[in-house]
Structure 1
C-alpha cells in the first residue's frame, strides 16, 4: 500500500437518472420530467414543516439537474467532463463550442492555466545532500600493523569518519509563463577545508524548441555563464554554453557543446565537447524502453579517457530497478551493481556496490524524496578484498528486510487500517445521508402514490405490487428470485410514482440515483419487480444498468389451475 496516494473521488451525481430521462433526451422530455418532480417536491405543496424541509432539499436537487440539462452548453460540458467540468473556472467562456472534442480542449487549456497560476504562486525547491563516509578502518588491517610498529595507542573500535559533505539547494521563482529565475547555493567540506558558492540564473523560454539562460555566480571569484537549447530538426537538437570564471590569478574560460540525434522512438545518440583548461570529447548511445535502459559511452580527453557500459532492468510489477555498470580507462577500472526500489509514491531508495582499481570497494546509498536527494557514499576498503564486497552486498539487503518487516510494514498496515476505518466511517455517513434522502423522497411521494395507484386500478392498468432493489439472488434465469439477502431495499412507491399512462420506463444507468433509491451495498445490484397489468400477474428481474420497459408479455406469469 502507498499511503501517499490520493483518496478516491466520490461518485458524481447522475442528473439523467435522477430525472429518469435518457442520455439523448429532448428538451421537452427534460421539461416534462422537471414538472413531474416539481409537483412532488416543491416546498409550497407541503404544509408540515418537516416535509417542507425535506421538499426543499429534493427540489433544489431537481432544480440543479434541470438547470444543467436544459442549457445546451452546460449539458455538453456535463456530458463530456461530468460535474468537475461544471465546477471549472472559466468554462462559461466556451459558449462557442459545439463538439465534445472542443469542450475537452477548452477544459484542458483552462486546467493548464490553473496549473500555471499555481506554479507562479509557489517556488520549486530542489536539494542535494551528499555525505562521504570513510570506513576503510573496518577492513584495512595494515593500519593496525603500522600502529603497532609505531607504538600508537589504538581504540578498540574502528575509526569511521565523515570525510566530506556537499550541500546544494536551489529555488525556482517563476516570473512569467516564459521566464524563470533560479537561486542556488552549494557548500563543500573535505578533510577540514571548505568552499562554497551562490548563483542566480534567469531562463527565457522562446518556445518548446528553444531557451536561453544567463547565470551569475560568486564563490572562489565571480563567474558568468551563458547556456542555450535549440531543436534543430525533428531528429536533432543542440545544447551548450560558455563560462568565464575570474579567479585571483587568471580568467578561466570554459566551453561546452552537445548535439543529439533521435535514432528511433527509444534511442538517442549524443556527441559532447568540453573545452577550457582541460578538454574532452565524449560520445554515448542511450536506449530507453519500458523495460530497460542501456547506455554505452566513450570519452577521450584529460585527465582521463574511458569506455563505459551500463544496463538497467526495470521490474515494472514491483517498481524496482536492477543496475550494472562496467567502466574501464586510464584511471583503472570498476564494476558497479545495485538496486533501486520505490518505497512510496514520492520516495525511492537505492543501494549499489562499486568494486574497482584503484578506488577499492564503495557502498553507495541514495534516498530520493520528491525533489530532495540524500546520498551516502561509504568507502569501505582501498583494496579489492572479498570481505568488504560480501558485507557491502549482504548487510544493506538484510538491513532493508529487517527495517521493512519490523518497522515499515507494521506502520503501513496501521495506516491502512486507519484509512480503511476512515473510509468505512465516511461510507456509513454517506449511506445514512442517502438513506435519509431516499426516505424523504418516499415520504413526499405518498399523496402522488395514492393518486396514481387509484388511476391505474380504475383502468386496470399497471400496478407495482412489490419492488426490491439491491443484492437480489436469483436462480440464474434473471427472474424468479429464490432468495433475498438482507442487503435490499423496497422501492415499490418510487416505481409506482414513475408510472405514466400504464407504462414504466427505466433507462440504461445505475438505478441507485433514482429518487427513493440508494446504494445499500457496493456489490452488483439488481431490481426485482412484481406487477399486475390488466389484472394479470407479471414478474421481472433486471441488472442495475439494464433498460426496463413494462408491461411486457414475456413477464407474464403462467397461472396453474
Structure 2
C-alpha cells in the first residue's frame, strides 16, 4: 500500500480480476470468461424486474471489461495507465501509433517522465548539511588526572570536551523555464574553527537533445567566477562531459579545466578517464561495475595535492533494502580502511553509517541521513590514533541507535500515520464502498440460480462443493460471524459459481474485484478462507489476497470427522 497517497484507488476496477483471468490471458481465455459471466448476468436470463435491473448493471460491467481486454489497443493502454488512460490521453497516442507494442513503449516513456517530474516537484529544494564533530577527547589515551590543573578539578572538568569543528550548508532550487531550459539558484556556507565563507551560484542549462546539454554558471562569494559545462553522447558506448572555469581573485585570474571521457565496457561496467587542470591538477582513471547484487569501484588518481589508489565494494540485498560497503584507500596521505552499511528506513529516506580507520587520520564515524534530495551528514572524529575501543564503539553504537530509533520512534510513527490515512481513505470513499457492497450483494443474488445448479451437479458426482468461504481480515484466534462482522464477507456463492468440472482457479489479482466480492477493510491486508468437500472428504485453505488459488489440492486435506 502507498501511504503517500491520500486516497485508496477504489474507483479503479481491475478488469482481469473481474473476469478472473491472468494478466497474460489469451483472447480465447477472455472470450470464455465473458461467455461464462454473460450466462449469469445477461438481463434476458432474469424475468423479475428487480433482478433484471441489477443484471443490466452487472452485464454492462462484464461487457466493458470484455471490450477493453479483447481489443489489443485498448488493452495496451489499460495495462499502462489503467481505466483513466482510456478516458483521456490514451487515445491521443493511439492516433499516432500503430501497434500495441508501440503504445506500451511510449506509455512507459511517458510514465518515467511523469514520475521524474513528480519526484522533482516533491523533493525540491535540494540541499546538503554537513556538521563535523570533534570527539577525540572521549578516547584520549594521554589523559592523566595527575596533571590536572587545580583550578580545573571541578565536576565539569570531568566531562570530555566535544565540539563542532566545522559546518557546511548547501541549498539549491530549480526553476524550469521551458521543457529544455532550467535555471538553478544555489548557495553554500561553510565555517571551520571560527572562520568561514560562502557563495551564491546561478546557472542556466539548455538541453539540446537526449544526447547533449550545455550549462553556464556564475558564482559570487570568495571571488566571482564564471564556468561553462557540457555533456555529449559521442557514440553508443562513449560519452563526454567537461567544462572550464575562470575565477577572479585578488591574486589575479585563475583558470581551470575539467574533462571526463566515459566508455560503456559492457552491460554492467563503465570506465572513466578524467583530467582536472588549474591550481591543483590531477589525472584519474576509474572503472565501475554495477550488477544487481554487487558494485565494484576501482580508481587511481595522480596529481596535486594527493595521489592514491582506491578499491570499493558494495554488497546489495534488495529484499532487505540494505547495502554493506567496504573501501581501501592508499596514497601519499597515508592509508584508510572504511566499512559501513546503508538501510532504507522509509519510502524516501536512507540511513547510513561507516567507520573510517586510517593513518594518520585516526578513527572517524560517519552518519548520513538522506531524505529525497536532502542530505544530512555528521562525520565524528573519535580518535587521532587507531585503537580498539573507538573502533568497537563506532561499530556497535550506530546499530544500537538504529534499533532504538526504529522500534521506539519510526515504527510507532509509521503505524499511527498508516492508521490515520486508512481512516481518511475510508471516510473519503464511504459512499463508494457502500455502492460496491450493494453491487456485490446484487451479484450474489443474481448468482443464486447458477449456484444451485453447479452445487447440485457437483453433489451428484461427489465433486468440489464449497461449504464455506469468507473474505477479509480474519482473526484465527477468535470465531467470526459473517452476519455481524464488518471485517469479513461471505463469498460462498461466488466461489462455488467459479467451479467448473470439479476444479477451481482464481488468479493472482485482488479478490475484491471478483463478482460478488468487495473490500470490507479498505487498504488493509486481507485473506480468503475456503472450506470445501471433495469426494466426501473435508478440505480447508487460507490464502493471501493476491495469491493464486487452485482447488482441490491434497495439501488442503484436514482431519475432520
TM-score normalised by length of structure 2: 0.71
5+ residue gaps, structure 1: 450-462, 496-503, 529-543, 547-561
Query: Could you say which residue in structure 2 is the equivalent of 1:133?
Result: 133
After superposition, what is the alpha-carbon deviation per residue over 1:206-232, rounded to whole angstroms, capped at 9, x for unaligned? 222211111111111211001111222
Please tell me whether the aligned partners of residues 491 and 516 of structure 2 are also in contact (alpha carbons under 8 angstroms): no
SS in structure 2 at match of 1:392: helix
- Aligned-residue offset at 1:307: 1.6
| Matching of residue 329 in structure 1 with residue 328 in structure 2 | no
Aligned residue number for residue 481 of structure 2 = none
Give the match for residue 259 of structure 2.
257
1:252, CA displacement in angstroms? 1.4
Contact map agreement 1:340 1:348 (CA 8 A) in 2: yes
* Native 8 Å contact 1:286 1:294 kept in 2: yes
Question: Is 1:184 paired with 2:186?
Answer: yes
Alignment of 1:21-420 (within 5 A): 37=42, 51=50, 59=56, 62-63=59-60, 66=63, 76-78=73-75, 81=78, 84-88=81-85, 89-93=88-92, 94-95=94-95, 99-108=99-108, 110-111=110-111, 124-142=124-142, 148=148, 155-409=157-411
Q: Residue 468 of structure 2 aligns with which residue?
A: 485
SS at match of 1:216: strand
Does 2:528 align with 1:523? yes
CA–CA distance in structure 1, aligned partners of residues 492 and 316 of structure 2: 53
Distance in 2 (CA, whole Å) between partners of 1:354 and 1:441 is 65
CA–CA separation in structure 1 for the residues paired with 2:118 and 2:72:
29
Return the alpha-carbon distance in structure 2 between the equivalents of residues 83 and 139 of structure 1.
58
Q: Distance in 1 between the 2:381 and 2:62 partners?
A: 68
Structure 2 CA distance for aligned equivalents of residues 486 and 445 of structure 1: 15
For the residues of structure 2 that align with 1:400 and 1:513, how far apart are their CA atoms? 40
Give, in whole Å, the separation in 2 of the partners of 1:545 and 1:354: 52
Q: Is the 8 A contact 1:123 1:174 kept in 2?
A: no
The alpha carbon displacement at 1:114 in A equals 5.0
Aligned length in residues: 493
Partner of 1:559: none
Contact 2:325 2:339 in 1 (8 A): yes
- Structure 2 unaligned blocks of 5 or more: 22-26, 471-489, 521-525, 534-547, 551-561
- What's the offset of the Cα at 1:344? 2.1
Deviation at 1:440, TM superposition (A): 3.8
Q: Using a 3 Å threshold, how does the CA distance of structure 1 residues 480 and 394 change in structure 2: closer, same or farther?
A: closer
Contact 1:308 1:326 in 2 (8 A): yes
CA separation of 1:135 and 1:291: change in aligned 2, threshold 3 A: same
Cα distance in 2 for partners of 1:409, 1:200 equals: 41
Task: Call closer, same or farther: CA 1:40–1:79 in 2, change over 3 Å.
Answer: farther
Cα distance in 2 for partners of 1:480, 1:278 equals 80
Distance of aligned partners of 1:141 and 1:3 in 2 relative to their CA distance in 1, 3 Å threshold: farther
Tell me the CA shift for residue 106 of structure 1: 4.7
C-alpha separation in 1, matches of 2:136 and 2:411 = 33
